[in-house]
């Protein structure tokens, strides 16, 4: 009986439901790629509208999404908007090399062990989760196109207009 319960627990833990709109965002605390590895947490961003973006150096659409996200961040950070770029590369050197070619001004963190990606149950690259000021996922984006960027801009503007 213990074997069956253990097998069931293992199965359920590896088949978590994907984080979708309306769900609270999982906790996130990851070391920054720069700044001496200082931790970036979602709890520390509570009260801001936050876009959590999962990216990797080998992700072709990330070459389009990263500059678009940086533009949205620079335009809206004074209004309470934040972006956290969660890198899924196994090598921090690969992530830093990509960041040198495609520089951004928002914080980039390392998720080499995939803990955050598992917590959000990331299904595609890039994947982004737009959180309201209370930490609730309001929109999920899988992949990135120019149309995604336009929709994201409207969603951010709408959430920034909501009361805290």
With a threshold of 0.95, does the pTM exceed it? no
Residue of 111 and 17 predicted with greater confidence:
111
Q: Which fold has domain 19-161?
A: Glutaredoxin (3.40.30)
> Long-range contacts: 12-17, Cβ < 8 Å, 24+?
16/118, 16/121, 17/121
Instruction: Report the C-alpha gap between 12 and 77 in whole angstroms.
Output: 39
Predicted confidence at residue 63, as pLDDT, reads 95
Predicted confidence at residue 20, as pLDDT, reads 84
């Amino acid at each position: 009986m213990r074997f069956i319960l253990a097998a069931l627990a293992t199965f359920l833990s590896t088949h978590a439901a994907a984080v979708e709109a309306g769900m609270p965002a999982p906790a996130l605390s990851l070391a920054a790629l720069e700044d001496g590895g200082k931790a970036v947490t979602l709890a520390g961003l509570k009260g801001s509208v936050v876009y959590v973006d999962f990216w990797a150096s080998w992700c072709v659409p990330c070459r389009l999404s990263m500059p678009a996200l940086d533009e949205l961040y620079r335009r809206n950070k004074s209004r309470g908007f934040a972006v956290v770029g969660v890198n899924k590369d196994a090598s921090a050197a690969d992530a830093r090399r990509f960041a040198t070619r495609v520089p951004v001004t928002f914080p980039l963190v390392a998720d080499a062990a995939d803990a955050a990606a598992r917590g959000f149950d990331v299904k595609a690259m890039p994947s982004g989760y737009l959180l309201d000021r209370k930490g609730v996922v309001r929109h999920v984006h899988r992949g990135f196109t120019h149309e995604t960027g336009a929709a994201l801009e409207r969603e951010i503007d709408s959430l920034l207009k909501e009361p805290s």
